[in-house]
Amino acid sequence: MSGTFFHKGISRMQSEELLLKAGDDGSFLVRDSETLPGAYVLCLFYQNKVHQYRILPGPDNKLFVQAESGATQRGYTDLTELISEYVRKGSQNGLACALQFPIASEDKGDTDEEDDDNDDFEFPPAPVTPQEKKPQNDPGSFDILKNFSRLDLSGCEGSFVTALKKYVDDGFQQDSTAFKNGETDLFAFKTLMEVASRGLKRELDNFMMNIEICNEILKTTQSTEQKSLSIGDIPRVSDKHIHAMLESMTRCRTEIMALENKAQGVLQMSVIPSEYVYVDASALSNHAPQQITASPFLSSKYRQYIPQSKFEVKQVRQCKATKLTLTIDIPMGKYSILKATSKDNLDQKTITHDKINHLIKSTKDKSSLDIIIDGKKKKTYLFENPQARENFCFQIMQMKNMHSTESEIDQISIFIGTWNMADTTSNYPLTTWLKCTGAGKSRDRVLGVIPHDLYVIGTQETAMTEKDWVNTLKAGLKASVMVDMELLEVCSLWGMRIVILVKPEHKKSISRIQRSSVRTGIANALGNKGAVAISFYFRGTSLCFINTHLTSGDERCNRRNQNYRDIVKGLSLGQKHLDLFDVTNQFHHVFWLGDLNYRTEENIQVLLQKVQEKNLNSLLEKDQLKRVQREKAAFCGFNEAEITFLPTYRLERNVPGYKYSWRKIKKTGERINSPSWCDRVLWRSYPGVFIENVAYGSAETILSSDHRPVFASFNVGISSEFVQNRGSLIEAGTFTITFHFIEAQVKTSCRQEFQLEFHSTCLTDLYVSQRNCNFNENQSCFYTCPVWEENLLPKMKPLFSDQDFLEEQHILVAVRSFCADKESYGECVLPLKDMFSPQPKEFSYALSHYGEETGFIKGKMHVQTSDKRANFARHHSKKSYEVVALDTEYHDPEIFFSDITKHESSLDSTVIKSMVNTDITFKQHSPLITLVNPEEVNGDYQEIEVIPQVAPHTDQRLRKTISIDERPPLPLPGVGLEYKPTSPTYKMIQPNLPPRRSVPVMGQSYLHGNPELRTPSAPPRPLTRPPSEQPPPLPEKKSIRGDMISRSRTLQEWLTCLSLGVYIDNFVCSGWDDIKFIADLSRKDLEDMGIKNKDHLDRILAGAKELKQAR
């Protein structure tokens, strides 16, 4: 198999790309089969098509080309013999055409070069050519080299591994030569022992320090001189020889025995009664100032202290902005609203966590947040900045989760950290890293003291053993967040390591733990580069974490892309029967972390200038990883949080700040290492599942390496592994998953038939479609578009008929060739959420295979039921993470629950109440209500009805009469009303405004609970206005309102003060998106926006005039 035509490890799509690039009929190559071990595929290019023939091993291990007719073929001993024979046959070889032009395997010589970021790494010496002169080796040196090749050094420190390699390469031969000359000192071996004993000497120094501290504690006499003891006061084991260290160990034994005797003496003295009574520590803490918290040493059991947090906000109500202070007390499960009613008086209102129904984020104003309390009232607050709003939402979610009474959790927090340790042992505390504080998007200071549920730490070039590193992480977490974490799993490969720590109470929820590793170093055989990965299930949600160290060097971007594909293909994780699907499609969430080594492509001087200016956007445009993702060359479908921190490589060690060491002097000359974001955290999730990034940044205080540690924090939704509706276990299945049409656009030039495979845990069995009969035309010769109609697609029956359970399920779809090899041409994941409908819904997703995007798939499908009583309303139990939603995902219940803005009116309130007609109804999505005479619109009006919100997408709606207190706001100023019993009856109409977007993105739009609507005991008299009367003039503006209009900072705030916030879209879509242009507004501009109401036109122009005068 040494022929140049053989391409080991390349994918089907890569082989087709090579042949299309060659473009000559008769071009061919041989690759490995993706489905049959030991088999190969002969790829032949002819007439712009790639023809593929399987080469199979026979019973006698001889190779033969599989014939379509099944005729017996001659066997060949190897690929070279087989291909040579078929080339000799010419056009009579039984293939599409003669084999003429072999495609040579691409040169991958760069993989055999020494990595530029590991100068100290050495390999065993290469074989010596006859022309070279080298001393004759002893037979023992070959045994040493043989033993070294069998060693597993993954648990050893990097410095020891380097010293051991040096001893194997040269040291043993040096000692052997010296021994033959009569010397017995063994200098090279003692040097190796010195390196091996560094850790022991360090521990001895620490141990002697601890002994001395214990001696100080046990002193019973008062000393007149108080001095602090440090490790510098203790004699260290400074001698390099092993004998001096052994003497120190002997001294340790003596010190321990003396200390034990001293402790016995102190205990004997303690039994003598003393006149002094010690004050209890808890009593002392009661008299301590409130702002000073008790330290762990003052209480028997330290309780975690979570501070309160305050947010300064403004509430816009009745055209008046009120400054408020919101205080969140997470341990007590409440937040308080503090309002200054006068100079010396404060009004405080407390709301408990169970009263908070929803937090609705505005997508137009990133600082605005609606809080729906107990399903009745909506409060709108303006925060100081968007980050403050995000922190408020995170803290409210944490508070609700902490005080939840649910027996099973539905979301967890995950810490992910990556750090290239550069073969050093850090003496810096890990607190800032583990608490997600530093440069970039840090975790809120209040949340920083609350431990995550999972800690995933990936390291590269690790200089500590597994045991030492795990203990270091546990100690760091204990010091940072006062929590004892348990080790879930650890996986190491040379210097790469991934450690997962979990809270003890969560271990029972974790199952099916797997780990795997892939080598991508020299010739894909050495483990200095590659990946280590761990996967498991947390209840019903599958998680996979991959820590990688990819090829280094600015110019090796393509090699890094190949590393990515090799890792995706080589990781052995997930369910064995889903071998068609790689790790990116087998898990709900895949987190990819590590030193990816993608660099910044920019002139070094320009780059350094931009780093100094902190021009991150310009730098990120030159980032290789961002580019390859755009080009879909690697990491397709992976997400990354916004990078707001400076490059993490390559920095001066032990130097604070960002001093980059970009110049490296090597034996081959000077090498430039441009400052880059080498250390990254990416993730890829199933569609329709919940995940949000909380933090993404770098720790600035850990300086021992030339890389800065990177942290990320996530909140992840957890699904149940069991069916919640027990009745569905015994009921006959009523749901059916039906596909009406599917079209795949596959990246291939092979014209063959395809079939679809459907896998899911909710299905009774594997479902396979029939082979496609039709193809759609595609202008590109490199795409094939098979089509399946409904009669070729299977109808699938789920295992259970529990809609809540099915909405959390996904179907894995693979497009396979119909021929004998059954190779996959692409896979994707289809969610069942939002597919419950009597009518089919469209879907469209990208196809991928072994990390490469291979096309697209689209079609129509739905989940239908035979139960005619079903209305497909989303009735599932409320998820904790659905508390927070965007206004585009949420059905606005303002018409029922908001604090109704009472506009100024010349009518007395008692008269108004008597004129309200209880028969007036309106639709729930009406953003604006206007009273008009039906005769004035010639009967062309839309009657509006009151429909209490039961659930979005509900077909059966309950209509109720509303009471006076629950009615829409009174007419806006300028619409005069007068009671005249003889006047005609008037109805409400809804203006033709753009419909509110109400389709949920992630199912977070459901409003739980129905408000109770009260019916008045007696109907009031109708509200009318004679058509002949002109409306009275606008009421005189109040000074407060005029003051608020003049102080408005944003367009939305200004329109809110005018009670015309509904027109924000009209302004923005017409280009009036900045308040500084409002002063130039004219009536024609407003009419061009689509604003026709004369009263609203006058009010807007008057507000613009006030704004202009104020400025």
CATH number at residue 63: 3.30.505.10
Q: What is the mean pLDDT of the chain?
A: 77
| Structural tokens at position 242 | 């092993």
Give the CATH number, domain containing residue 544: 3.60.10.10
Higher-scoring residue by pLDDT: 843, 1024: 843
Question: What residues contact residue 572 under an 8 Å CB cut-off, 6+ apart?
Answer: 514, 516
Say which residue, 463 or 271, is predicted with more confidence. Answer: 463
699 and 595, same structural domain?
A: yes
CA angle 245, 246, 247 (to 5 degrees): 90
Residues 437 and 508 in one domain: yes
If asked whether residues 804 and 826 sit together in one domain, one would say: yes
Is there a domain that residue 100 lies in?
yes
Residue 190 pLDDT: 79
Q: pLDDT per residue over 782-799, tens digit each?
A: 789 999 999 999 999 998
Give the range with max mean pLDDT: 178-182, 725-729, 834-838, 1106-1110: 834-838
Cβ(859)–Cβ(740) under 8 Å?
Answer: yes
For residue 792, the 8-state DSSP code is: G
Region 1039-1048: mean pLDDT is: 61
| Range name among 320-324, 835-839, 866-870 with the lowest pLDDT average | 866-870
315 & 430 share domain:
no
Mean pLDDT of 157-171: 81
β partners of residue 846:
856
Structural domain of residue 150, as residue ranges?
141-203
Measured distance CA(1019)–CA(914) in Å, rounded = 9
Share of the chain above pLDDT 90, in %: 39
In the predicted structure, residue 437 carries a pLDDT above the cut 90: yes
pLDDT for res 1005: 36
- Taking the CA atoms of the chain, what radius of gyration do you get in angstroms? 37
pLDDT one-digit tens code per residue, 626-672: 999 999 999 999 999 999 999 999 999 999 999 999 987 777 778 88
Query: Coil, helix or strand for 198?
Result: helix
pLDDT at 898: 41
Question: How many angstroms from the chain centroid is the CA of residue 479?
Answer: 26
Distance CA 566, CA 557 (A): 14
Query: Do 930 and 1007 reside in the same domain of the chain?
Result: yes
pLDDT of residue 502 exceeding 70, the answer is: yes
600 phi, psi to nearest 5 deg: -100, 120
Sheet of strand 356-361, all strands in order from the earlier edge strand to the far edge: 346-352, 334-340, 320-329, 309-317, 377-383, 368-373, 356-361, 884-886
| Beta-bridge mates of residue 692 | 715
Q: How far apart are CA 149 and CA 185, in angstroms?
A: 27
Q: Is the pLDDT of residue 588 over 80?
A: yes
Name the residue type at position 562. Answer: Q
Q: Is 127 within the bounds of a domain?
A: no
Q: What is the pLDDT of residue 920?
A: 37
Give the model's confidence band at 484: pLDDT under 50 very low, under 70 low, under 90 confident, else very high. Answer: very high
pLDDT given at position 971: 43
Residue with tokens 């104003």: 365
Both 599 and 691 in one domain: the answer is yes
Tokens standing for 904?
A: 């100024």
**Could you give the count of Cα atoms lying within 13 Å of 684 in the half-sphere of its Cβ?**
22
Report the half-sphere exposure of 417 (CA within 13 A, side-chain side): 29
* 275-289 mean pLDDT: 37
pLDDT value at residue 1068: 77
Instruction: Among 589-593, 648-652, 849-853, 1010-1014, name the one with the lowest average pLDDT.
Output: 1010-1014
What's the total number of domains in the chain? Answer: 7
Using the structure block, give the residue that is written with the tokens 């050093």. Answer: 424
Residue 26 has pLDDT above 90, yes or no: yes
Rounded to whole angstroms, how far apart are CA atoms 426 and 628? Answer: 33
**What's the confidence (pLDDT) of residue 781?**
66
Q: Quick check: is 297 in a domain?
A: no
Residues 582 and 580: their CA atoms lie apart, in Å, by 7
Q: What is the mean pLDDT of residues 1044-1053?
A: 73
Shared domain for 1030 and 1043, answered yes or no, is: no
| pLDDT average, residue stretch 696-720 | 96
For the packed helices 242-270 and 187-196, what is the interaxial angle rounded to 10 degrees? 30
pLDDT of res. 957? 35
Most confident of 46-55, 381-390, 707-716: 707-716
Position 659 scores a pLDDT of 93
Q: Reply yes or no on whether the pLDDT at 942 is more than 60.
A: no
**Local confidence band at 263 (pLDDT 50, 70, 90 cut-offs):** low
In a domain, 689, yes or no: yes
Structure confidence at residue 1046 (pLDDT): 66
566 shares a domain with 431? yes
Nearest residue to 903 via CA among 968, 991, 987: 968
Bridge partner list, 789: 741
Rounded to an integer, the average pLDDT of 134-163 is: 68
pLDDT at 376: 65
How far is 62 from 82, CA to CA, in rounded Å?
Answer: 10
For residue 296, is pLDDT > 60? no
List Cα–Cα distances, 744 to 700, 825, 835, in angstroms: 48, 10, 20
Residue 1010 above 50 pLDDT?
no
Same domain for 499 and 596, yes or no, is: yes
pLDDT, tens digit (0-9, with 9 covering 90-100), for 738-792: 999 999 999 988 878 999 999 999 998 899 999 998 999 876 667 899 999 999 9
Query: Is 304 part of any domain?
Result: no
Between CA 369 and CA 374, with CA 372 as vertex, the angle to 5 degrees is 160
Which of these three, 873, 894, 918, is where a domain ends? 873
**Tell me, what's the pLDDT at 1032?**
57
Q: pLDDT grade, residue 697 (50/70/90)?
A: very high
For residue 778, the domain's CATH number is 2.60.40.150
In a domain, 1011, yes or no: yes
- Which of 99, 98, 97, 104 minimizes the C-alpha distance to 21? 104
Under a CB-based contact definition with an 8 Å cutoff, are residues 586 and 578 in contact?
yes
Residue 234 counted as domain residue: no
In tens, the pLDDT along 72-89 reads 678 898 899 999 999 999
Tens-digit pLDDT profile for residues 174-208: 888 877 777 766 778 878 888 887 777 777 777 77
- 385 and 332 inside one domain: yes
Tokens (6 digits) for 718: 């957890």
Q: Which of 133, 127, 140, 142 is nearest to 176 (CA)?
A: 140
More confident residue, 155 or 1080: 1080
Using the 3D structure, point to which of 384, 402, 420 is the last residue of a domain: 402
Average pLDDT over residues 105-110: 58
Same domain as 864, residue 829: yes
My answer on whether 1028 and 1050 are in the same domain is no
pLDDT value at 1042 more than 70: no
pLDDT at 247 over 60: yes
How much is the pLDDT for 587? Answer: 97
The predicted structure's pLDDT at residue 779: 65
Output the pLDDT for position 1095: 82
What is the band of 993 on the pLDDT scale with cuts at 50, 70, 90?
Answer: very low
**Which segment of 674-683, 862-871, 922-931 scores lowest on mean pLDDT?**
922-931
pLDDT recorded at residue 870: 55
User: DSSP string of 300-314?
Assistant: SS-------EEEEEE
Contact assessment for residue 579 and residue 604, using Cβ atoms and an 8 Å cutoff = no
| Domain termination site, one of 352, 370, 402 | 402
Work out the pLDDT band at 969, boundaries 50, 70, 90: very low
The answer to whether the Cα torsion of 784, 790, 794, 800 is positive or negative is: positive
**CA gap 443, 436 in Å, rounded:** 5
In a domain, 129, yes or no: no
* Residue 650 to residue 653: CA distance in whole angstroms: 9
Residue 470 has pLDDT above 70, yes or no: yes
